[in-house]
Amino acid sequence: MILQVNNITKSYVQTDNKPVDVIKNINFNVKKGETISIVGPSGSGKTTLLSLIAGLDSIDSGSIILDGQDLSQLSEDKLSKYHSQKIGIVFQQFHLMPHLSVKENVRLPLEILNAPNISERTNEVLEQVGLSDKKTFLPAVLSGGECQRVAIARAMGIQPSILLADEPTGNLDNKTAYQIEELLFNLVESINMTLVVVTHNLRLANHCERQLQLKEGQLYENLD
């Protein structure tokens, strides 16, 4: 298993100091190369769950084991480094650095990791997402679909063990969303990469091998 989520819980304290259970004793496993979608209504905890898997937030109890490593056993510094090496993330809002060019945005995680062959790897992933001719462009002059292509290239550049995508087509029109969906699946399937995607888009969800539903903080296998 590339990912094991074991009985995790997460709660937050509201303004009235009452705790709210957002994630309730969730368990699931993901095999290497598997594609999984997580669907559910707004406020059901989907983005929280993805943030916990990514190490962007801490669990209250349980364990998350990624590629054999229990993330709860790592110090904050080691967790940050492990996250940078093992997990690629694609966000709905792109989160590109506005003052950096397309090429510089994609290079940034590789430079942070002091990875080998940075220029070669950057050019390779930009070609894969169809942006070789826009390396010097700033995000402000790109379309939404092009910005998401840059974000995908940035996430894939580090060759992560798992790719997490939070509503990757949520800000795009239907035609562009379909193009990004096809690109994403073509890329992950070509290298047998694991994908976990949170989405409201049922077409995107059904493109995955497995569909999970999150309802009121609990996870269910979608057997429809």
% of the chain exceeding 90 in pLDDT:
68
pLDDT at position 159 over 60 = yes
Query: Whole-prediction pTM value?
Result: 0.92
Q: At 56, which CATH number?
A: 3.40.50.300
How confident is the model at residue 63, as a pLDDT? 95
Structure tokens at 216: 């009121």
3-state secondary structure of 22: strand
Task: Give the length of the chain.
Answer: 224
Tens of pLDDT, residue by residue over 12-25, are 887 777 888 999 99
Tens of pLDDT, residue by residue over 78-119, are 888 888 889 999 988 889 999 999 999 999 999 988 889 999
- Give the sign of the dihedral formed by CA 160, CA 168, CA 80, CA 127: positive
Give the span between the Cα atoms of 55 and 29, in whole angstroms: 17
Query: For all residues of the chain together, what is the average pLDDT?
Result: 91
pLDDT at position 62 over 90 = yes
**Domain of 122?**
3-221
Q: How many domains, the chain?
A: 1
Nearest Cα neighbor of 32 from 214, 196, 183, 206 is 196
